[in-house]
Structure 1
Amino acid sequence: MTRIDVQGLTKRYGPDTVVDDLSFTVEPGQVTGFLGPNGAGKSTTMKMIMGLAAPTRGSVTIGGRGYRDLPVPLTEVGALLDAGAVHGSRKAYDHLLSLAVSNGLSRGQVGEVLARTGLEGVAGKRVGGFSLGMRQRLGIAATLLGDPQVLIFDEPVNGLDPEGIRWIRDFMRSLAREGRAVLVSSHLMSEMAQTADHLVVIGRGRVIADTGMSEFLQTNGVSSVLVRTLEPGAFARRLTAAGATVRDGRESSLVVSGMTSEDIGRLAVYHGVALSELAPQRASLEDVFMELTKDSLEYEGATAA
């Protein structure tokens, strides 16, 4: 089984360190989500994995070898780093055929990947007329030409409609079930929560977290309790006095942390406060990600007054 090994990877451009002593592995049989704020070094790391940028220090191997040492790279690793990197006047079939022929692959592979990505009906159409979703599918088809065991996707769902996002999510999961190692970067936290088995989170070029999805949420997620009452302001003061942290939620609800739902219920009974809702909640992947990376943001928007 083939995996990606990143060891002590560092990349500097002049005085700027973009990737700083990065180490992680992408294991076969699972989708690894590669997350980080803008400027964290995700795209640079992916370029170094693919041999498009030389590391200042450290190493990256795919199945124990560097990308440049792979005899037929497309049969070992497929990567979609830019869905727009295809000539618009070329037909979809011809684009894939040129890739297959240049890598010593059979014409039959072209038909197979077109079928698997749902592009058979547009194989004879020029790519310039494709929607963004169709271009993404074509890029994914190209990554599969050599039936590689390692697949890398950089922001594959950007700009897609819900149907396209769902298709790509299910497709990534199916590739992992086949025993392939799948590395995916994305800014859509809700999508990563449904797609990734494992997470590698980086900030300012360094690893912040490298763990399974459930462990990541359990370790970093802060539980809260949603509370509704006819007297939210008064009960919020009671909760704060008892040591809880309270913030306003939607529709006049209270979001309480630092106190269990049982303790909140007892406090309400003691003070004769009627509760219409008392619901424990877990932090979402987006909530945990934002909290974990808040000190690693390159740019931060102003908060509205």
Structure 2
Amino acid sequence: MIEVRNLTKRYGPLTVVDDLSFTVQAGQVTGFLGPNGAGKTTTMRMIVGLAAPDRGSVTVSGRRYADIAVPLSEVGALLDAGAVHGGRTAYDHLWALAASNGLPRRRVGEVLARTGMASVAAKRAGGFSLGMRQRLGIAAALLGDPRVLIFDEPVNGLDPEGIRWVRELMRSLAAEGRAVLVSSHLMSEMAQTADHLVVIGRGRLIADTSMSEFMRSAGEGTVHVRAADPGALALRLSAAGAGVREGLESSLVVSGMTAGDVGRIAAYHGLALSELTPQRASLEDAFMELTAGSVDYQGVTS
């Protein structure tokens, strides 16, 4: 378990993490979400002692990271896939980590096999793609068979098969009773992976809730409609109080009204429909709405 209490970190006049508190429980995947610059990576660095907080505390299994005698046996972390000597082979990189933590050599082969890296164990890391470096970093995090795992953007550079593999790995690690904290900007993956969400913006906590509760708070979503006369249908739905906008290929996207209500209004006015599909609000939609006031860098769309 990870316990973050009133954590604050400043760099000069800038407060990067601001009085942040949350808990990562064992047996579940906690998604750590926030816009770019929200303070996620800085928080993870403070958890594993790579940055010192200005105020507050963070413990892993009840102890500060600095007080853990064999760190890899308690907490495994992937914060930077590039943090590997390019001249070392995958095997030698992991063996150096294992030896420095007093771990048995057999663990190197075990984690190489689990991460699909056994066939490239003798190749130098400098020639690896980003996806292969991500897998090597995950192997390093698993090396000490820790009960707590931290992953910062672990699917960067992975192909679809690799992304699915990471998703299944996170779920399996949680099922083994481990506490898993993972950050990602891929909302579709978080929706399929996380049990719990911690959302921050500009260093402050915005939400700390279960995935199911977070999605319930996102509302009913929208209804996608195709009609023989979309203009007439849009007028009727708008008059009934629905929000209506144009979708793809002459479809309508309706908010504030159920699919049943849309169908009844269309039938009453004799408007033929070829599609009537309710769409639940996505995690991406809910996240964007929740963090809209915490985004520092916004582009302009025409």
* Cα contact 2:131–2:156 (8 A) shared by 1: no
* Cα contact 1:32–1:197 (8 A) shared by 2: yes
* Cα contact 2:30–2:194 (8 A) shared by 1: yes
> Structure 1 CA distance, aligned partners of 2:9 and 2:298?
24
Q: Corresponding residue for 1:264? A: 262
Q: Corresponding residue for 1:96? A: 94
Q: Corresponding residue for 1:118? A: 116
- The letter for the 2-side match of 1:188 is L
Superposed, which structure 2 residues align to 1:203-218 within 5 Å? 203-218=201-216
What stretches of structure 2 of length at least 5 have no aligned partner? none
Q: Corresponding residue for 2:193? A: 195
Q: 2:277 aligns with which of 256, 273, 279?
A: 279
Q: Corresponding residue for 2:17? A: 19
Moved more, 294-303 or 110-119: 110-119
Q: Corresponding residue for 1:64? A: 62
* Cα contact 1:221–1:284 (8 A) shared by 2: no
Q: Corresponding residue for 1:300? A: 298
- The letter for the 2-side match of 1:98 is A
Per the TM alignment, residue 221 of structure 1 is displaced from its structure 2 partner at its CA by 3.6
Q: Corresponding residue for 1:81? A: 79
Moved more, 216-225 or 291-300: 216-225
> Structure 1 CA distance, aligned partners of 2:114 and 2:278?
42
> Structure 1 CA distance, aligned partners of 2:144 and 2:283?
34
Percent identity between the aligned chains? 76
Moved more, 108-117 or 291-300: 108-117
Per the TM alignment, residue 171 of structure 1 is displaced from its structure 2 partner at its CA by 1.1
> Structure 2 CA distance, aligned partners of 1:144 and 1:227?
48
> Structure 2 CA distance, aligned partners of 1:45 and 1:232?
49
* Cα contact 1:228–1:275 (8 A) shared by 2: yes
What stretches of structure 1 of length at least 5 have no aligned partner? none
Question: Structure 1 residues 59, 144: closer, same or farther in 2, change over 3 A?
Answer: same
* Cα contact 1:67–1:73 (8 A) shared by 2: yes
> Structure 1 CA distance, aligned partners of 2:91 and 2:276?
57
> Structure 2 CA distance, aligned partners of 1:51 and 1:60?
9
Per the TM alignment, residue 270 of structure 1 is displaced from its structure 2 partner at its CA by 2.1
* Cα contact 1:74–1:146 (8 A) shared by 2: yes
TM-score by length of structure 2 reads: 0.97
TM-score by length of structure 1 reads: 0.96
Per the TM alignment, residue 222 of structure 1 is displaced from its structure 2 partner at its CA by 3.8
* Cα contact 2:134–2:156 (8 A) shared by 1: no
Deviation by residue 1:231-250 (Cα, 9 ceiling, x = unmatched): 11121111111111111111
> Structure 2 CA distance, aligned partners of 1:268 and 1:151?
52
> Structure 2 CA distance, aligned partners of 1:176 and 1:230?
49
